[in-house]
Structure formats: structure tokens, C-alpha cells
């Protein structure tokens, strides 16, 4: 800066946003442990971190949804203990969530102005669509959009819809736009387009926080990367320093509290063998997978990598578009859930409340539902047989409930999950797939579920555990398969288990050693 330049106003030197010692804890978990973060005007910051590193908590604090326990949030130099939603919007902080919040049936302009439409004709109070469109057109132009304000949103591609969200943010005079994994479901060309938009925002002095796991995007778009780990700032990298190895090294290093329990016997023969399976999510990417008797195979990967879709296909929920499945040496055509459950292939789905159990039915009714004929004679259910089975499951799995006639919806998450598991345990499983088995349940129940899974494996069941919780994947699995964009990107044996290896494979980077096969 030369002497002739005007003295910088205090506004120019202070960053737009500054977090100091922001802390937020929940019973039993510290989500953010005293975080410091600065975002300058026009700065593009990459934010990375594993599940549970504190990203969502940070987003919620910035959005005014939750208040931190301690620390200050400074916007334009004005310190506050917490933001309200209104203050957050007023300060110009805008979000583009992974799940877009757009109305399919409305046009672009109506989506941008939803809830604050310009009106006309006084009492008639009609939406002034013309004025609305006139106001939105320049925003779209500024973002280089190749569509007009009167296009229905449902006809736009995902990237175009993201641009609509960004236009909406601009219409609120946003000064900081937070993009949550915006590129995770975008094809390459659309990603390019989005990165250009971020660049143009930067030129206008609008800051961006860009949450992503894709290195080259971070490298291209971000001025620096901030890595969160266990609710703390694990480190920051300037653009020139960014490499996968450095990022991953910063992300890992958490305390792993789950202690591995070795199987009672070495793993047995292959029970289920999937060859070149194609699912609806990634029809171009065939998947091979072998599940062994007595083994817990962890299936790791980022959200959207095709793990749940693979599970749903093997369970007959979604159609399989190619390849073959062999169960116990005999080919198996999985055409419906019946064809899977009839042969002892079971799935405990990730969305427990919507699909895992029937909240409005009793514990006993949930447990016997998949195999009700076994508790019936001549098509008539025998309540005594049903109750006996349920009582046994309740005792075996230690389901804590007033009785087996209790409504399942009234139980805690952990006990609901035990019910979801109990219905399959009552049916001689050969293969059990558990999708995020401990999501949203308390620590105590978590360890009980781990114990149950180990017990199942030791009883000769092939267990496939899909999990996004690194601690769980490493602490529970006997082997880990990692998926990346619909492919198995690597298979790790216990001696190769490390957060680093799993993450590297999950982001599709590959690890250069003989232990991993691609």
C-alpha cells in the first residue's frame, strides 16, 4: 500500500466474519471445541472434515439455528454471543444446502422471491410476476446462467438449480454464501460451471465457504482450506500447499474409542458372492463383492458413493440391472424382498423410522412381521406364539421396554434399532446387511449393537456393515471395502486399517501399496 492511498477504513481491514473460541457441546459430545475462524470479504474458503468433525454444527451456528455455549461471532466487527436466524440473513449469510430447497412446480423467479413476492392490485393481492422476473433476470445474468427467470425449476439441471439458489442468496444481498457439498452429485462439466460462478462471486467481493471432498475443485476455487477435526481447527492450508496427503493427514488422528473384538474363529467360506452387480445409482459401474461366513465386512465411503443402493439391490428393494448373485454356491435371482428374505438375506435399513420398523405397531408385531406364517396356524396368528418369540428376542437383545405389546415408536432409538435387528435374528440369517446401524442412537446402545454384530458373525452369519462413522468402521470391521462413485475402490485387511487409507480410497485417490486392490 502506498502513502498516497487513502487510509483504509476499519471495515476494509477487519474480516467480514470472525469466530473466536466458539464452543458447542451436547450431552456426551463436544461438537465444536473452541473454534477460531476468519472469513474475509471475497475470500473463498474450502472446509473439509470427516462426519462428526463439527461441520454441520458450524453451519447451524452461522445460520442462527443453534447458539454456541461460549465464544463470540463477529460480523463486520460487531461481536455477538450468538446469531438469530434473522440476524444471520440480515448480515448476508446464505446457504446452499446439499438437498436443494426449491419448488419444482414454480418458475425460477418465483423460487427466488418465495415468501416475499412483489404484489399488485391492492386488495386482490396478486403476485406481480412481471416485476418478479425483471428483478431476477439481472441476477441470473450476473451468474452467467443460460436460462431465463420464467423457466420452471423442474426443467433445470442440478447445477442450474444450484445457480437458482445462489441467485436467491444474491437477492438477499448475501455477503457470504456457504455451499454444502455442491459438486458431490454434479457431472464434471456442470462442476466447472459452478466453479466459474464462485469465481465471479469472489470478484464481487462475496465470500464463499465451500464444503467439498474433491481436491482439484478445492485447489481451483479456494484461497485456503480449513480442516476441522473433533470440533477443532486441525489446520489450514494455503492454495499452493494443498495436496491429498496433507488434507487427509489433517482430517485424521481422532481418538478411536471403539475397541476391536476379534472374531471367535477365522473367517469361513464365501456365503454370498455378487459379480458385476449394477444398481440404479451407478448403472455404468459394476460391483463385485464377496461376503464370508463369520466375518464383519465394513463398507465405507462418502455419502452418495452407492453403498446403500448396493444394499437395497441385494435385498430386492431396487432392481438389479445386471450381474449375478451366488448364495451358498447356488445362483440366486433377487427379484423381490421375498426372494432375499426367503433365502436368509436381510437388511436393516439406514432410515429406521421410515423403513426399519413400523412405529405404530407393537414390538411383538414388528419382530414377527417378516415371518408371521411361523407364528400362525391355518393363516390365523397365534398371539401366544408371537408373544413367546418377542419375549425371547426382548431378553436376548436386552430390548428395554415396558412389554412386548408396547408401541415401538415409544422406544428410544437404540431399542428401536434392536427391534429392527430382532425381526431378522428370529429367522436364521445367513447374510445381514446393516446400513448405518448406530446412527442416532446413544453410546451405550451403540456398543450393544457392536456386540450383537460380533455375536452374529461368530454364529456363522456374514455381516455387511455400511457406516460413515470412521471410528465404527475401523473399530468393528474385520475387513473394510471402500466405495467411491459406485465402484469398490479398495479392500483393506486389518493390518492396513487406518483412517488415512479409508479416506484416500473414499475420495477415489487410491493408495499405493500392495495391500489394497482396486
Partner 1 sequence: MTKKDLGLLILILVVGLGVYLVNPLFLSPNNLANTANLIALFGLFSIAQGFVIITGGIDLSVGSMIALLGVLFVDMVGRLGVPWPLAAAIVMGIGLLLGLAHGLLIARLHIQPFVVTLCGLLIYRGASRGYTADATAGFPFGTTYPGLDFFVARPWGIPTSVFVLAVVAVIAWIVLHRSVFGRYLFAVGKNEEAARFSGIRTGAVIIAAYTICAGLTAIAAIFFAMYTRSVSPSSHANFYELYAIAAAVLGGFSLRGGEGSIVGVILGTILLQVLQNLVNLLGIPSSLNFAVMGTVILVGVLVDQQWGSFRERRRIREAARTANGVAD
Q: Which of 347, 433, 503, 516 binds partner 1 (CB under 8 A)?
A: 347
381 binds partner 1 (CB under 8 A): yes
Distances in whole angstroms, Cα of residue 219 to Cα of each of 29, 126, 349, 507: 32, 47, 36, 15
369 binds partner 1 (CB under 8 A): yes
Residue with smaller CB distance to partner 1, 360 or 398: 360
Residue with smaller CB distance to partner 1, 65 or 358: 358
Residue with smaller CB distance to partner 1, 301 or 349: 349
| Least spacing, CB of residue 316 vs partner 1, in Å | 8
Q: Which listed range, 39-47, 190-198, 359-367, 466-474, lies at the site for partner 1 (CB under 8 A)?
A: 359-367
CA atoms within 13 A on the CB side of 119: 8
C-alpha–C-alpha distance, residues 146 and 31, integer Å: 41
Contact between 32 and 49 under an 8 Å Cβ cutoff? The reply is: no
27 binds partner 1 (CB under 8 A): no
Q: Which of 370, 413, 455, 510 binds partner 1 (CB under 8 A)?
A: 370
Residue with smaller CB distance to partner 1, 242 or 347: 347
Residue with smaller CB distance to partner 1, 248 or 310: 310
| Least spacing, CB of residue 328 vs partner 1, in Å | 19
Q: Which of 193, 423, 430, 479 binds partner 1 (CB under 8 A)?
A: 423
DSSP for 451-508? HHHHHHHHTT-EEEEE-S-HHHHHHH-SEEEEEETTEEEEEEEGGG--HHHHHHHHTT
* Cell numbers linked to 497: 486399517
| Least spacing, CB of residue 206 vs partner 1, in Å | 41
* Cell numbers linked to 105: 412446480
Q: Which of 341, 415, 468, 489 binds partner 1 (CB under 8 A)?
A: 341
356 binds partner 1 (CB under 8 A): yes
C-alpha–C-alpha distance, residues 346 and 420, integer Å: 11
Residue with smaller CB distance to partner 1, 162 or 362: 362
Q: Which of 30, 65, 67, 358 binds partner 1 (CB under 8 A)?
A: 358
Residue with smaller CB distance to partner 1, 286 or 356: 356
C-alpha–C-alpha distance, residues 370 and 426, integer Å: 9
The angle subtended at Cα 318 by Cα 312 and Cα 321, nearest 5°, is 110
405 binds partner 1 (CB under 8 A): no
Residue reference for cell 461481536: 79
Residue with smaller CB distance to partner 1, 56 or 339: 339
Closest of 403, 454, 25, 9 to residue 267, by C-alpha: 454
Closest of 286, 296, 265 to residue 432, by C-alpha: 296
C-alpha–C-alpha distance, residues 85 and 320, integer Å: 45
338 binds partner 1 (CB under 8 A): yes
Contact between 15 and 38 under an 8 Å Cβ cutoff? The reply is: yes
317 binds partner 1 (CB under 8 A): yes
Residue with smaller CB distance to partner 1, 336 or 428: 336
Q: Which residues, at least 6 apart from 433, have a Cβ–Cβ distance to it below 8 Å?
A: 311, 314, 315, 345, 346, 347, 348, 464, 465, 466
Q: Which of 126, 372, 410, 459 binds partner 1 (CB under 8 A)?
A: 372
**DSSP assignment letter at 352:** I
| Least spacing, CB of residue 432 vs partner 1, in Å | 13
Q: Which of 100, 361, 385, 406 binds partner 1 (CB under 8 A)?
A: 361
Q: Which residues bind partner 1 (CB under 8 A)?
A: 315, 317, 336-338, 340-342, 347, 349, 354-361, 365-366, 369-370, 372-373, 376, 379-381, 423
Amino acid at each position: 500500500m502506498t502513502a498516497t492511498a487513502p487510509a483504509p477504513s476499519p471495515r476494509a481491514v477487519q474480516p467480514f466474519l470472525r469466530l473466536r473460541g466458539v464452543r458447542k457441546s451436547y450431552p456426551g459430545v463436544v461438537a465444536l471445541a473452541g473454534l477460531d475462524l476468519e472469513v474475509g470479504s471475497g475470500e473463498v474458503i474450502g472446509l473439509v472434515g470427516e462426519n462428526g468433525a463439527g461441520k454441520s454444527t458450524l453451519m447451524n451456528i452461522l445460520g442462527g439455528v443453534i447458539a454456541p455455549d461460549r465464544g463470540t461471532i463477529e460480523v463486520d466487527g460487531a461481536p455477538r454471543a450468538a446469531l438469530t436466524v434473522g440476524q444471520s440473513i440480515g448480515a448476508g449469510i446464505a446457504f446452499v444446502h446439499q438437498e436443494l430447497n426449491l419448488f419444482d412446480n414454480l418458475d425460477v423467479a418465483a423460487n427466488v422471491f418465495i415468501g416475499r413476492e412483489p404484489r399488485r392490485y391492492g386488495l386482490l393481492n396478486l403476485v406481480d410476476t412481471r416485476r418478479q422476473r425483471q428483478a431476477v433476470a439481472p441476477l441470473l445474468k450476473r451468474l452467467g446462467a443460460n436460462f431465463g427467470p420464467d423457466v420452471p425449476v423442474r426443467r433445470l439441471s442440478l447445477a442450474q438449480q444450484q445457480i437458482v439458489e445462489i441467485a436467491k442468496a444474491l437477492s438477499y444481498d448475501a455477503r457470504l454464501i456457504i455451499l454444502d457439498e455442491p459438486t458431490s452429485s454434479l457431472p464434471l462439466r456442470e462442476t466447472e460451471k459452478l466453479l466459474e460462478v464462485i469465481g465471479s462471486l469472489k470478484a464481487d467481493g462475496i465470500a464463499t465457504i465451500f464444503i467439498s471432498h474433491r481436491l482439484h475443485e478445492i485447489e481451483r476455487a479456494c484461497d485456503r482450506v480449513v480442516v476441522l477435526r473433533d470440533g477443532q481447527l486441525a489446520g489450514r492450508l494455503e492454495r499452493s500447499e494443498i495436496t491429498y496427503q496433507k488434507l487427509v493427514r489433517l482430517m485424521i488422528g481422532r481418538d478411536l474409542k471403539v475397541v476391536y473384538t476379534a472374531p471367535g474363529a477365522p473367517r469361513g467360506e464365501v456365503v454370498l458372492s455378487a459379480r458385476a452387480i449394477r444398481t440404479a445409482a451407478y448403472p455404468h459401474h459394476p460391483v463385485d463383492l464377496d461376503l464370508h461366513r463369520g466375518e464383519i465386512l465394513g463398507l465405507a465411503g462418502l455419502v452418495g458413493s452407492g453403498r446403500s443402493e448396493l444394499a437395497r439391490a441385494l435385498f430386492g428393494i431396487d432392481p438389479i440391472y445386471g450381474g449375478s448373485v451366488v448364495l451358498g454356491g447356488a445362483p440366486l435371482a433377487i427379484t423381490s424382498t421375498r426372494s432375499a428374505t426367503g433365502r436368509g438375506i436381510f437388511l436393516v435399513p439406514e432410515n429406521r423410522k421410515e423403513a426399519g420398523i413400523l412405529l405404530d405397531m407393537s414390538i411383538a408385531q414388528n419382530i414377527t412381521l417378516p415371518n408371521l406364517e411361523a407364528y400362525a396356524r391355518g393363516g390365523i396368528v397365534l398371539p401366544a406364539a408371537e408373544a413367546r418369540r418377542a419375549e425371547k428376542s426382548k431378553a436376548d437383545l436386552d430390548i428395554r421396554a415396558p412389554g412386548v405389546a408396547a408401541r415401538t415408536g415409544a422406544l428410544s432409538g437404540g431399542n428401536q434399532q434392536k427391534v429392527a435387528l430382532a425381526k431378522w435374528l428370529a429367522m436364521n440369517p445367513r447374510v445381514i446387511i446393516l446400513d448405518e446401524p448406530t446412527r442416532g442412537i446413544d453410546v451405550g446402545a451403540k456398543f450393544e449393537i457392536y456386540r450383537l454384530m460380533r455375536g452374529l458373525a461368530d454364529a456363522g452369519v456374514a455381516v455387511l456393515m455400511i457406516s460413515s462413522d470412521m471410528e465404527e468402521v475401523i473399530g468393528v470391521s474385520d475387513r473394510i471395502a471402500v466405495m467411491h462413485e459406485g465402484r469398490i475402490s479398495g479392500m483393506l485387511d486389518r493390518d492396513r486399517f487406518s483412517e488415512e487409507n479409508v479416506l484416500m480410497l473414499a475420495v477415489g485417490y487410491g493408495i499405493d501399496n500392495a495391500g489394497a486392490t482396486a
